[in-house]
Amino acid sequence: MTMTRSFPSKALLLTALLLTAMIFPSAGDAADEKPVVFPDTDAGKKVALYFMAFNSDDENEMLNYLLRNATPASLKERPIENRMATYRRLKNDLGALKPVKIVKETEDAVAVIAQASNGQWVETSFEFERVSHTLLGVRVMLLNEPPDLEAPTTPLTEPEMLKELETYLDGLVTKDEFSGVVLVARGDKAVFRKAYGLASKEYNAPNRVDTRFNLGSINKFMTRICIERLAAKGALKLDDTIGKHLPDYPNKQAAEKVTIRQLLDMTSGIGDFFGEQYVATPKDQIRTLADYLSLFGHKPLLFEPGTNRQYSNGGYIVLGLIIEKASGQSYFDYVRDNIYRIAEMESTAHLEADVPTENVATGYTRQWGETDHPGEPRRSNIYTRPARGSSAGGGYSTVADLLKLVLALKANKLLAAETSKSVSEQGIAIAGGAPGISAFLQTDPKADHVIAVLSNYDPPVAESVGHKIESLLRRLR
């Protein structure tokens, strides 16, 4: 995914059931490394075979690998057809994967840093059944910056890990490279929650642990939950076309051909609302989903639906409009009633930029005028963000509310029990970013950890902090 000069939000989406992987800009060439030697264990051998199957030019190699190694329960939970569809998308986007470093190795889990043919850095995590060592699942996380291949892997106690985390964050703040709030939870309890930097440079107001930050594209995850809820109620079907719910959609070809499923998976061919028209539009005139639709809805499809995959903020605007039609509520009211209130996310909402609201962080950016301005004083992002966010992103929340979202999913409060179980077991890794906006949420179901990072500085700072925390958590004894 390439970020246009209008700086659209972007998201890293990992959940295998609800979400599909997104490509970030390539990270350059891998350093010269010795070939990775996989552990001489059942798990290690199966990881080595996975990379051989992934890199084969014959997709039957991956099909046979999954049929031979995945547990029957996991195949029932997520059918082989869905797994192969995900594999094809990753293979098409990434090419071959070159393992570079094993970063985690236990009896039932292995994590490997690899680099793809296109330069993209990838972390692939494998979980195995403890006794039989059959494969429970594979998570592919696409990293938006080169990993620290020299990072230590020595075990840490939790106090040691938290001390290292504080030292790391203090160093970023000293260099003015981070402003925001960081939360690390184990189960339903925060083991680390701390605020850094200023919510308002104008008034020298510090960030607090309950300060609200713009989520960027993390809202897409919530839009997806809304679609799942409406589908469960029979208000829509994933294979419905746009035209079934939005008969007046301006592009008739899209209305007739594009399905809700393709919108969710970003295979619709619908483009983005960012661009010259967005830049030229006064931001106080972008306040409803219909206001966004006018920026892209009339444009031709980028490709035949289902034949390619491209990141699409516009597609998630269309999903929001479908939610409005199917529910009879505005998107903002539906997501409030069906996610925020149920999960008790009392500080989460789609705030309006010109309505004074207490305890909200102002975004500060070094991205303006078509270029980056490293080292220059940061400016407010008020001229780059719309008056109100959308179903594609731009809501506001706190780290505590993001933890509540995770706990509500685990407790089957938002989705059907089977779907919630899949999400909880496979984990979540999502991010959002735009000028002065950086957000990251990740769960590790095996260790029962949750990482939430919200920042009012430019991306990918929240993701970078989140990945650092993940590397520290991996070293816990």
Q: Tell me, what's the pLDDT at 8?
A: 35
pTM given for the model: 0.84
Q: Tell me, what's the pLDDT at 32?
A: 52
Which runs of consecutive H residues, i.e. helices, occur in 258-302?
A: 260-265, 276-280, 289-293
- Asked whether residue 31 carries a pLDDT value surpassing 50, the answer given is no
- Domain co-membership, 207 together with 225: no
- Domain co-membership, 275 together with 288: yes
Structural domain count of the chain: 3
Q: Is residue 31 part of a domain?
A: no
Longest alpha-carbon distance in the chain: 61
pLDDT band at 33 (very low <50, low <70, confident <90, very high): low
Range of the domain at 180: 158-218+348-473
Q: Over pLDDT 70: what percentage of the chain?
A: 93
Query: Which one is predicted more confidently, 122 or 35?
Result: 122
- Asked whether residue 106 carries a pLDDT value surpassing 90, the answer given is no
- Domain co-membership, 125 together with 193: no
- Asked whether residue 293 carries a pLDDT value surpassing 70, the answer given is yes
Q: Which of 77, 78, 43, 46 is nearest to 64 (CA)?
A: 46
- As a whole number of Å, the CA-based R_g of the chain is 22
- Asked whether residue 2 carries a pLDDT value surpassing 50, the answer given is no
- Domain co-membership, 214 together with 230: no
Domain stops at, among 333, 368, 399: 333
- Domain co-membership, 90 together with 184: no
- Domain co-membership, 392 together with 467: yes
Query: Which one is predicted more confidently, 309 or 469?
Result: 469
Q: Helices 42-55 & 60-69, crossing angle to 10 degrees?
A: 160
Helix (H, G, I), strand (E, B) or coil at 163: helix
Q: Is residue 422 part of a domain?
A: yes
Helix (H, G, I), strand (E, B) or coil at 229: helix
Q: Is residue 227 part of a domain?
A: yes
What CA–CA distance (Å, rounded) separates 66 from 138?
Answer: 10
Q: Is residue 245 part of a domain?
A: yes
Q: Write the single-letter amino acid at 116.
A: A
Q: Tell me, what's the pLDDT at 328?
A: 98
Q: Is residue 1 part of a domain?
A: no
- Domain co-membership, 314 together with 373: no
- Asked whether residue 343 carries a pLDDT value surpassing 80, the answer given is yes
- Domain co-membership, 181 together with 212: yes
Which residues, including other chains, have CB under 8 Å from residue 295's CB and lie 6 or more apart?
Answer: 273, 275, 277, 278, 281, 286, 314
Burial of 422-434, coded b for 16+ CB within 10 Å and e otherwise, reads bbbbbbbbbbbbb
| CATH value at residue 285 | 3.40.710.10
What CA–CA distance (Å, rounded) separates 457 from 364?
Answer: 5
Give the mean pLDDT of 92-121.
Answer: 92
On the question of a cis peptide bond just before residue 147, with omega within 30 degrees of 0, the verdict is: no
Q: Tell me, what's the pLDDT at 445?
A: 80
Q: Tell me, what's the pLDDT at 290?
A: 96
Q: 77-87 pLDDT, tens per residue? A: 778 888 898 89
CA atoms in the 13 A half-sphere facing the CB of 12: 29
Q: What values do phi and psi take at 192, rounded to 5?
A: -150, 125
Give the mean pLDDT of 6-27.
Answer: 33
Q: Is residue 163 part of a domain?
A: yes
- Domain co-membership, 210 together with 225: no
- Asked whether residue 94 carries a pLDDT value surpassing 80, the answer given is yes
- Asked whether residue 18 carries a pLDDT value surpassing 80, the answer given is no
Domain stops at, among 143, 171, 186: 143
Which tokens hold the place of 266?
């970003």
Give the mean pLDDT of 298-320.
Answer: 94
- Domain co-membership, 214 together with 226: no
- Domain co-membership, 64 together with 206: no
Q: 374-430 pLDDT, tens per residue? A: 999 999 999 999 999 999 999 999 999 999 999 999 999 999 877 777 776 778 989
- Domain co-membership, 303 together with 402: no
Domain stops at, among 143, 169, 185: 143
- Asked whether residue 170 carries a pLDDT value surpassing 60, the answer given is yes
Average pLDDT, the chain: 89
Count, in order, helices (H) and strands (E) of the chain: 16, 17
